[in-house]
Amino acid sequence: MEPPLPVPSPLERTPSALPRSSAAGTPVGPPRLGWLDALRGIAALVVVFDHSSYAFMADFRRDLMPEFNTSRYGIMVFFLVSGYIIPASLERRGCVRTFWIGRIFRMYPLWAAVVIAVLTLNMLGIADIRADFTGQNIVAAAVAHVTLLQELLATPNLLLVLWTLSYEMAFYLLVVALFTVRLHGRSAAAAATLAVLAAVSATAGAVLPVSALSGELGTGPLIAFASITMMAAICCASAGMRVLQVCGGLLGGALALALVAFNGTVPMWEGLVILAVMFLGTAVYRADSGQSTWWRAACTAAVVVACAVGSAYGDSAEAPFTRRGWIVAFLLAVLTFGIALALRRQRIPRWLTGLGTISYSVYLVHPALLAVTDGTIGRWRQDKPVLELGFYAVLLPLCLLTYRWIEAPGQAWGRKTARRVQPP
């Protein structure tokens, strides 16, 4: 997840939406899109609870999950927010090259810092990495992680939350594809089409083996092919020639669709629903900005919700209690987004927008901190609310520091780099 987002999700605001900053780099003014920050903050806290409850609230989590899948709730909120803001960022820039520069400097600095920290702490015996890379070529696994597509390339995630970033990256590739062929305004159609395909695949019982393409082609060859294709797509779409832009955009979009549909670790219908949810967020953005009508956005939401729920019910491979928890989480995520949208002109508490500002840090840093607690105090069989609260008490100040010293400078470097390469 931007964090899809996130993701969730690593998101980028427009200049008018950026809060004023003090000399110390701390946001001091309310952002115009504070309701989106609030959503990200809520989603981040829910995802943290979902993962930390394994260690400190295991009994409570075991009772809750069949009724309410907290992980799916949080990431669906992140994906809706990503869908709202990411295409707006690209269209505001009007330049694929600067869009990708912004994404790279937004996502990678903190990602790299967290990955390096976890690997280092693991070597020192302080952190416990639970990902199983047995039989995996380490170089290939590293390359897959660098592309952020590892979840779609049959590679275990070094940290569990990184899987959502793969769907975020797939969404970026699709958004760029539509932008280069000048169909970016068809967000509602894209959302509805993906949702219907998800429902058809679930109803038809289109059950593929996990990572089907990797099984046919081999994980290493697919990683090499996908990495080269992705780089070629980004470079061509960022070029100055119109024909290269179109070819690059289509190449990246085709790669994203193929990986999501045929090489994910979730069922095909859920991968397509994730993309549909993000494009639903875009359809809402277009209605909110006057580019489309609210009637069209409402109809799109109805189609996406109906197809998503129908797909979950139609998945015979899932146990009924698992389906129920997923459906409740999905519906509550859409409802949460709708309520926040309705209240978007109201004053948002500053602490909540501030939490949204550091939500990417919260999302990426908390599994690293959990790896440390797993490697030191371990996991508890009985519920320990005090440890759960203590985890948050350590995490949030730490995330303020990572935002101040890693995220904010990275975004500043990205803006400077983008200005240098901005076409005249």
**Does residue 57 form part of some domain?**
yes
Q: What is the pLDDT of residues 392-422, one digit of tens each?
A: 999 999 999 999 999 999 999 999 999 888 7
**Does residue 10 form part of some domain?**
no
Nearest alpha carbon to residue 18 among 76, 92, 70: 92
Mean pLDDT on 223-245: 96
**Does residue 9 form part of some domain?**
no
Predicted confidence band of residue 29 (pLDDT cuts 50, 70, 90): very low
Q: Following CA atoms 416, 418, 420, 421 in sequence, which dihedral angle do they give, to the nearest 10 degrees?
A: 170
**Does residue 44 form part of some domain?**
yes
Predicted confidence band of residue 134 (pLDDT cuts 50, 70, 90): confident
- Tell me: pLDDT of 136 over 60: yes
Nearest alpha carbon to residue 346 among 34, 29, 1: 34
The pLDDT of residue 12 is 36
The pLDDT of residue 20 is 34
Predicted confidence band of residue 231 (pLDDT cuts 50, 70, 90): very high
Residue 148 near residue 107 (C-beta atoms within 8 A): yes
The pLDDT of residue 47 is 97
The whole-angstrom separation of Cα 2 and Cα 75 is 10
The DSSP symbol for 353 reads H
First to last CA, the chain: 33
Number of domains in the chain: 1
Predicted confidence band of residue 203 (pLDDT cuts 50, 70, 90): confident
**Does residue 4 form part of some domain?**
no
Q: Following CA atoms 321, 324, 326, 330 in sequence, which dihedral angle do they give, to the nearest 10 degrees?
A: -170
Q: What is the pLDDT of residues 274-329, one digit of tens each?
A: 999 999 999 999 999 999 999 999 999 999 999 999 999 877 666 666 888 999 99
**Does residue 1 form part of some domain?**
no
Supply the range of the domain harboring residue 213. Answer: 15-421
**Does residue 124 form part of some domain?**
yes
B/e letters for 180-204, b = 16+ CB within 10 Å, e = fewer, are beeebebbbebbbbbbbbbbbbbee
The pLDDT of residue 374 is 92
Predicted confidence band of residue 230 (pLDDT cuts 50, 70, 90): very high
- Tell me: pLDDT of 226 over 70: yes
State CA 42 to chain mean position distance: 15
The whole-angstrom separation of Cα 1 and Cα 364 is 9
Angle at the Cα of 393 from the Cα atoms of 19 and 125, rounded to 5 degrees: 110
**Does residue 6 form part of some domain?**
no
Of the chain, the percentage scoring pLDDT greater than 70 comes to 90
The pLDDT of residue 207 is 66
Q: What are phi and psi of 177, to 5 degrees?
A: -60, -45
H helices present in 204-319, as ranges: 212-217, 219-237, 242-262, 268-288, 294-314
The pLDDT of residue 2 is 43
- Tell me: pLDDT of 1 over 80: no
- Tell me: pLDDT of 382 over 90: no
Q: What is the amino acid identity at position 71?
A: S
- Tell me: pLDDT of 424 over 90: no
The pLDDT of residue 317 is 65
- Tell me: pLDDT of 181 over 90: yes
Nearest alpha carbon to residue 64 among 279, 324, 281: 324
The pLDDT of residue 27 is 38
The pLDDT of residue 133 is 86
What percent of the chain is helix, strand and coil (3-state, nearest 5)? 75, 0, 25
Residue 298 near residue 103 (C-beta atoms within 8 A): no
Q: What is the amino acid identity at position 148?
A: L
Q: Which of 76-80, 186-190, 315-319 has the lowest mean pLDDT?
A: 315-319
Q: What is the pLDDT of residues 254-269, one digit of tens each?
A: 999 999 999 999 989 9
Of the chain, the percentage scoring pLDDT greater than 90 comes to 78
- Tell me: pLDDT of 117 over 50: yes
